């Protein structure tokens, strides 16, 4: 394999995050269940307005250590809540403060604790402790650490009012609302909950979802795509869902003979199966598929829906350049969409995304190029040359690696010129550009 092609493959692999289930298994972290969340004295859906101290980003040219843990306080706008009758202090109607332990900066390796990440603009389902009446102290989460302690949900509630004073019904309505009306991150998060905890959510979930989404085939395609992303332990396909196969033949699901990257992916999937929970997405996935009227083009509808979600997935991380804290959602989507890399319609869609300068399009193109499909290389390099001048762009690392491993001599000279231009205005970024240049041999 040519050095440049192998280099870009390895760089892209570094950016695809491991699943939360595997992370939790490797570091012995706690995974919160929805039942535990529902048992909290207060369930709050709120929008994070600000943080004290304000989060970074804190960027370094050659980072070596992760940011330390520290006590932080978030101001949260109250959107809706459920409060048990026995809860002491009443939830205020507009804003409240929540104290938690977090990190103010990037993390470069596995951590012993999965800490909550409350960031401005996020809408979250937050389980809160019982706060002493009229206390001046901020509210606190029911736990300090663990995967699933906070949950991304949709901001606006479009579902009917609850008919019972039941925390489980409150949680189910939030999942239904996120799947039927949420943004891409809320939909993916809700699909992950279905995949891991369908037993807690059903049968109400499916019946309410069918009533909520109705005949909106575009939304059903989006739901189906996100359920397939969350079947990443077995890589379910639309054909598998249609055939009712919960355990597909992995070799059949692989679009090409196993490459070095595909072999590593298969190994990772085996580790997830051994350590993680049992993902059960097939029943709801079949319901979603049955609501796509054009069965012959259902697979195309699904990849088109996921491709449209890529900009939201790509823009999710706070520290995309220096930390390796890449979007898990983007990683799962790259893994799923890799099977279409030789589909002419998919290639044209990616080229269009590159020309329209969409976030995440370089990640998809880089993945295709790393697997040997170079039809979109000219468009990818053209966008990469723009993106390297944007240090905070979500896929700037993909742009850097693409120019260094696939660019022409003239493009590498332009790359050096960009680094020189940033020496005064952003010396950390300039140092990073030159460091990557020195680490990547000319091809």
Tell me what pLDDT residue 296 has: 83
Tell me what pLDDT residue 261 has: 54
Tokens encoding 396: 């700037």
Residue 350's nearest CA partner among 316, 330, 371, 379 is 379
Residue 296 class from Cβ within 10 Å (0-12 exposed, 13-18 middle, 19+ buried)? exposed
Tally of CA atoms within 13 A in the half-sphere of 330 that contains its CB: 31
Tell me what pLDDT residue 232 has: 58
- Sheet containing strand 139-140, edge to edge, reads 139-140, 95-103, 69-83, 42-52, 123-128, 151-152
Q: Which residues neighbour 231 within 8 Å (Cβ) at sequence distance 6 or greater?
A: 195, 279, 281, 282, 285
Could you tell me the CA-to-CA distances from 33 to 120, 171, 226 in Å, in that order? 25, 12, 20
How many angstroms separate the CA atoms of 230 and 266, rounded? 16
Cross-strand pairs, 438: none
Which fold would CATH assign to domain 39-152? Answer: OB fold (Dihydrolipoamide Acetyltransferase, E2P) (2.40.50)
Q: Which residue has the tokens 């639309």?
A: 238
Q: 140: helix, coil or strand?
A: strand
- DSSP H helices in 343-408: 344-355, 361-370, 377-387, 396-406
Q: Pinpoint the residues of the chain covered by CATH 2.40.50.
A: 39-152
How many angstroms separate the CA atoms of 415 and 418, rounded? 5
The number of beta carbons lying within 10 Å of the beta carbon of residue 345 is 11
In eight-state DSSP terms, residue 316 is -
Q: Which residue has the tokens 């199966």?
A: 273
How many angstroms separate the CA atoms of 157 and 125, rounded? 13
Entry pTM = 0.84
Residue 98's nearest CA partner among 159, 30, 145, 52 is 52
Q: Which residue has the tokens 């990772």?
A: 268
How many angstroms separate the CA atoms of 398 and 360, rounded? 9
Q: 336: helix, coil or strand?
A: helix
Q: Which residues of the chain carry a pLDDT beneath 50?
A: 1-28, 56-62, 248, 250-256, 272-278
Strands (E), 155-256: none
């Amino acid at each position: 394999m040519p050095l440049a092609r192998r280099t870009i493959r390895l760089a892209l692999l570094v950016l695809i995050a491991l699943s939360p289930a595997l992370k939790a298994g490797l570091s012995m972290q706690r995974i919160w269940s929805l039942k535990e969340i529902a048992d909290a004295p207060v369930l709050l859906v709120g929008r994070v307005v600000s943080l004290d101290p304000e989060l970074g980003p804190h960027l370094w040219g050659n980072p070596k250590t992760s940011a330390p843990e520290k006590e932080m306080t978030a101001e949260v706008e109250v959107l809706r809540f459920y409060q048990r009758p026995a809860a002491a202090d009443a939830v205020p109607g507009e804003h409240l403060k929540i104290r938690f332990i977090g990190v103010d900066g990037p993390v470069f390796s596995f951590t012993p604790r999965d800490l909550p990440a409350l960031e401005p603009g996020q809408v979250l389902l937050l389980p809160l402790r019982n706060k002493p009446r009229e206390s001046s102290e901020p509210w606190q989460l029911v736990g300090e650490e663990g995967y699933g302690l906070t949950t991304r949900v949709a901001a606006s509630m479009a579902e009917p009012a609850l008919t019972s004073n039941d925390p489980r019904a409150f949680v189910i309505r939030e999942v239904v609302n996120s799947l039927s009306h949420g943004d891409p991150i809320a939909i993916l998060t809700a699909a992950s909950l279905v995949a891991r905890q369908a037993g807690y959510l059903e049968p109400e979930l499916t019946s309410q979802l069918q009533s909520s989404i109705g005949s909106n085939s575009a939304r059903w395609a989006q739901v189906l795509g996100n359920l397939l992303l969350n079947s990443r332990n077995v890589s379910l396909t639309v054909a598998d869902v249609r055939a009712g196969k919960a355990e597909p033949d992995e070799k059949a699901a692989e679009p090409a003979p196993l490459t070095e990257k595909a072999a590593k992916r298969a190994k990772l999937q085996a580790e997830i199966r051994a350590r993680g929970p049992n993902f059960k997405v097939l029943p709801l996935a079949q319901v979603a598929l049955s609501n796509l009227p054009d069965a012959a083009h259902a697979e195309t509808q699904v990849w088109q829906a996921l491709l449209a979600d890529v900009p939201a997935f790509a823009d999710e991380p706070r520290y995309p350049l220096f930390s390796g804290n890449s979007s898990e959602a983007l990683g799962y989507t790259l893994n799923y969409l890799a099977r279409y890399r030789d589909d002419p319609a998919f290639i044209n869609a990616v080229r269009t995304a590159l020309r329209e300068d969409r976030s995440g399009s370089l990640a998809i193109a880089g993945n295709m190029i790393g697997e040997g499909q170079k039809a979109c290389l000219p468009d990818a390099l053209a966008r990469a040359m723009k993106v390297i001048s944007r240090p905070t762009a979500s896929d700037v690392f993909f742009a850097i690696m693409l120019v260094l491993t696939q660019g022409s001599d003239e493009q590498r000279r332009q790359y050096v010129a960009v680094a020189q231009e940033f020496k005064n205005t952003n010396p950390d970024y300039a140092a990073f550009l030159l460091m990557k240049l020195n680490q990547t041999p000319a091809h």
